A and B are shown apart, each in its own frame.
Chain A
């Protein structure tokens, strides 16, 4: 298999990949605001009750919310790969986040016999999706758990800082990567990325032969083996909904209003030409949301507003060098940004364009019809005391 050079803007450089660069016209993408998640798992159940309730899918959670740093589904999925890849090395450069990744991606670290580096989890590792729920850790283990705030390791500066005892929730779905490892791994070419429409990555259920190479090589472990059909399945990005301009189930079910999903431009320079698209705006223009483990090299397309109370070293390892800018922007919000964040979960329709004026955030669909109008600062009305006894 030939090795091609493809551009990975998240790494700020080209990288090895088994296929030529093939970016979709539009890319399915989402922004998850970790700061607001309460791990109610409504997203998880919305997905489960839509797609994975059948025989052979008992262990499947295409959407899951895990408690970091110890939680993981499958267990220790990220720790295991981080150990294989070694330290996360970035050097200063002209990349999107002002840095260039100088380490190896999963494709570049591949053994001679494989397309990439990865591992195949055992069944037992999928069996406790919410293991270590709410289990905190301490960045100061000698001192033990406490409630102090370490101002020197502050996340973004300004308000508060990193907690010395901490955990946070990480919401995970398939990243519908630009350079998918599952697709690269499949010896049958049974996995495809929808290039002409939304960039959603799918496993052809008719061609899959259950080799599980996708399960092994996906760094996010989102392809899963169906024990009844004996072939692999993965998050389908709720493509039947997306085709109708409706957000995925896990997005539209989000109680905490932490999620926004839509279609964005694949490359930053194209995204900057269309800044009225809320995803282009958040990810590329304001850089408030950063990819999960960009160093793996698949150019994942779910972006996270990083949690403010976590030690920067940990965030750096998990989200790469974009965290500084993301936290800075998040903690110094302006009306426009607040307006876009106010659109999260106000409609289940995909917002293709937004506008902000007169304290109102307005969302438009693909036909540029207004689909939502919401106040940015909701008026506060205090009921005068003389009405307290009335209902």
Chain B
């Protein structure tokens, strides 16, 4: 019996060790990330997450890749039901603001975040009194005209230079379309954010002095009238804004298929531009067109935000700390061909693995980012930006299709935004 003892002890120890091991493994914090990709953001994050998990065995990260629409429509409902992910990649921060977790107490060095990501942290905050850190921007985007240079060259029309107005661009693209028998001069993504850059350039202020909507002023009206006219006279491809009733629609396929000379979109399209068009034709990024209010595009982008419902706030913060560290963030931006939201990295030259056209495009996007109007930043960060954008798209589309007049559209945009604000504020 005594002789058996060491064996038994060994077995018991082994059993304990095995179960202990399981117990330790079971204690590993599970982090679920709901992610969508503009290009390859989710696969790139997965590579970084796997590397992070190797060094942090107590954390297990699962990245659920889903369509953008699902993030917009399902994640807020999941969060409201208390069943949401720990982190999600969102572009509409206002929609999830009440569920966001302030990471400040869990971050290694919140001061670094404030210094490195200061301006864009405001986008995730609920107002001027909110100083929380809720997440990490996965990119900084800037809207700009993407130009089919081959068509301009064929038409013998020079690409509008720095300082050219939207009217100049409209005239030039119409000439190119006519000369090259291209169906349309321009297309703008069906997006209120895309419309807002030109509207601000035209003088739109979007906020009253008190900082609340309504948003329709002379600058807004001026750009809306021009845009409707361009859609109706064929300068702009009407199909993008009119053929669908609701939501976002981009015009990338039209541009990639050479059906438009200029495409108003943004820096997030870089990966697609390289991959889908490649050397099919020569494309370049134009300077931000101007108007009475200046020359600006719209900033934007998506970010990983953490949520209050997480059971592992410390681990969530640790992973975001890892992604936010300068070398990892720089690598991430290079992997995804995105502009960095990190202020120090914006000053440095990142070693993007791009084609010569891609490198030139990235440089131009960066140059355009430097000219962004402060109002554009404020609008993007406003909790009411999405209701403003959505009302713009819905009502301007109706005006283009002739269902309502422009004046009726202005009235409806104002009342739609007021209605959304009232619903949001109702407790």
Q: Do A and B come from one complex?
A: no
